[in-house]
Every structure is written in structure tokens, then in C-alpha cells.
Structure 1
């Protein structure tokens, strides 16, 4: 039987690299991202199903769940950095923080809820992509880090409530991605890890299927 994975934020960065790695191992893929053109190109390359849209929208979440009635792996990779340049918490716009929580916390939970019947049936796995900003006190990273800390605790409780699943909240470390470049500049981002190498480690984790928990890939 072919394994099926649903990956959000799959048009670039870690999501794209993991999609390529899983496709190479014969996985069936359902991919989503907001950029339709980029996502369609990726899907054509990998022979995957592309469902472009915004994971904050309930109708889109429902479409994704319907597209994967049999599901072995959910990867909540889509996320937002928030306000840039990164502001101190004293100046963080509260409306922007509320929007960031919706993207980085509420949307992953909504997709988990929508796909849980299929994941339970397959005794599958959930990967929630987090960050060391969830645990470290880095100036300017308070808004983003707070959302990732919330996602980590959500994952921790989900693992306790769904013992037949594997739930991993995964800190990929710094990677050479557009998001990191937006935060720290292109020159510093270029020195970070290649997402393909990080995706290979994540693929190994998925294959090894260790106990639920927090995982650092670098």
C-alpha cells in the first residue's frame, strides 16, 4: 500500500524539500500552498496533487481533508514570520499578532482536527514544524516565538490525547529560506543549512517512527 502525506507550505523551503524526498521514496502526496503557480509546478514535477489555497480558510481545510481520505502523514509546515523588521514586543501590533496566531497555531489545529479520522485509521503521524524561537529568548522574535511555543504545547497535548498516533514537533534549525532571509538578511541566511539536508533528516525521522516528542534536526 502506498503511503500518503499531506504537506502544507509545499511550494518552497522545507516543505518543497520534504515533498521531493518523500516523492522519491514512492509516497503519494497532497500539497498545498498559497502560491498557485509555484505549487502547480512542484506538483507537476513530483506527480502530486496540488490544492492551492490559504490554510486559514475553513473551506480550504475541508478541501484538503477530502483530498486525503486515506492519510499516513500530516506535515504542518506552512507558517508566517509576522511583522518585519522584527519588532520588540513593546511595539508589536496586536492585530498583526492575532493574525500570526491564526496562521501558526489555529490553522494547524484546524487541519489536524479535519484529518484526524484518516490519521487514526492509519495509525499515522503528525509533524508540526516549530522553531528554537519557541524556547529561546531572542530579541525581536517574541511574536513569532510565542506562536511556535503555542504550537509546541498543542503538539504535546495532542500526543497525550492520541497515543495511537506519532506526533513530532520538529525544530529544523536555521535554513537558507526566504523566511530566514526576511528576518536576518540574505547574507546571513545563505550561511544556514540547505533545506534539502534538513528534509533528509526529517524523512529519516518519519521512517524510524520514534515515540512522540520534540525533535531538533540540527
Structure 2
């Protein structure tokens, strides 16, 4: 059975993708910081779950040990940073360092730990990016910088690991708690739900195109 590991799987896009993969017959290992929501989601989907923080090396090691063979890694877990979103001139540097740990170092650590399992199955990696990685939105400098770094990590990884498919995906705005924290409940409420993006990600994995950066529009 195909095995997927999804981070940030207790809500939002991670949960929507977990539901879609489970319906498609995948075996799932889910992780997120929110233990109660994570265990509830795992129970509903018949999935395994290991709660924890991807920025914690011990947690990364536990996840890798749990998937000696792996077909798909989805690095979806992400932090927003301080809210309301500060301008770069005022950005707390300790917060920025912590955000890089969560959004860049943590995903790379998990990639490093699971690469042997992914190579064994000629698996795939999906790193969830953002348009803030490539656009200059006021207030999004810290978060955008981490996603730009994750994009380049993905780009180089794709060149270094020809037997593992690597895609970095900008799913666009979605009706999530993170977006609400950034722009407010009212504006976030007008965005499409994460469930609208999950089918496109499944098509990406099934079609196995060449490595690269994809937006939701590319995957229609």
C-alpha cells in the first residue's frame, strides 16, 4: 500500500489532503502540534498519528523511524510569525529565526531523515509554498522569506535527487486559521476552502510531472 507522511495534518490543507489521500487508498502517518485535533483526525481516517513539532529533532527522528518505506512526504506544517504582520523594519529577529526553524529547517530535517525511505520507493516530496515567496506584499516579508528559502531548498533538492520527485506548490489563499490570523476573519472567510485544493494535489502526485514550482492554476 502507498504510504504518505503529512505534516500540519490536524486542520486546513494538511487535513484536507489527508482525507483525499485516504479516500484514494493511501496509508497515512499524520503529524501536527495540536494533539487533540490530530488524534481525532487520525481516528476518523484510520491513520497513524505522532503529535509533535517538526522543529524538534527528536520528533523528526520518531517520524522517520515510523516510515521505513515512504512514497510521499508532504511538508505542509508552517508558522505565520508575529501577528499582526510586522513590517521588516520592525520585525523581531528572534521571531524570524524561530520561523525559519519551523518553515525551512524543520522541513529539510524531515526530508534528510526520510530520504532513504523515499529513495527506496522512488517516492515524491511536496513542499507547500506561497505566493508570498515571490511577491512583495507589505507585512509578509518574514513569512515570505521563509517560503522563498523553502522554494530554493526544493529546487536544489530536485537537482540532487533525480530518483525522488520534488514539487513546491503555491496553493493560493485558502480559508484557514493562518490566513484569518494574518488578514482577519472577514477577509479570510471569502477565500476558497482547503478542500478545493486537495484534488489538484492528488493529480500532481498521480501525474508525476517534472520537478518544479506549481500554483493552483497550474494544476487544474
TM-score tier by shorter-chain length is over 0.9
What CA distance in whole angstroms lies between the structure 2 residues aligned with 1:176 and 1:27? 25
User: Could you list the per-position Cα deviations for residues 107-164 of structure 1 after superposition, in whole angstroms to 9, with x for gaps in the alignment?
Assistant: 0000000000000010000000000000000000000000000000000000000011
User: Could you list the per-position Cα deviations for residues 56-84 of structure 1 after superposition, in whole angstroms to 9, with x for gaps in the alignment?
Assistant: 11110010001111100000000000010
Per the alignment, residue 25 of structure 1 pairs with 24
Structure 2 unaligned spans of 5+: none
TM-score, structure 1 length as denominator?
0.99
Are 1:150 and 2:152 counterparts?
no
Per the alignment, residue 128 of structure 2 pairs with 129
Q: How many residues align?
A: 217
Per the alignment, residue 100 of structure 2 pairs with 101
Per the alignment, residue 117 of structure 2 pairs with 118
SS in 1 for 2:127: strand
Structure 1 unaligned spans of 5+: none
What CA distance in whole angstroms lies between the structure 1 residues aligned with 2:161 and 2:69? 18
What CA distance in whole angstroms lies between the structure 1 residues aligned with 2:47 and 2:197? 21
Per the alignment, residue 164 of structure 1 pairs with 163
Per the alignment, residue 213 of structure 1 pairs with 212
Poorly superposed stretches of 4+, deviation over 3 Å: none
TM-score, structure 2 length as denominator?
0.98
User: Could you list the per-position Cα deviations for residues 72-103 of structure 1 after superposition, in whole angstroms to 9, with x for gaps in the alignment?
Assistant: 00000000000100000000000000000000
What CA distance in whole angstroms lies between the structure 2 residues aligned with 1:200 and 1:178? 21
Superposition pairs of residues 1-218 of structure 1, within 5 angstroms: 2-218=1-217
What CA distance in whole angstroms lies between the structure 1 residues aligned with 2:95 and 2:154? 23
What CA distance in whole angstroms lies between the structure 2 residues aligned with 1:84 and 1:20? 29
What CA distance in whole angstroms lies between the structure 2 residues aligned with 1:203 and 1:107? 24
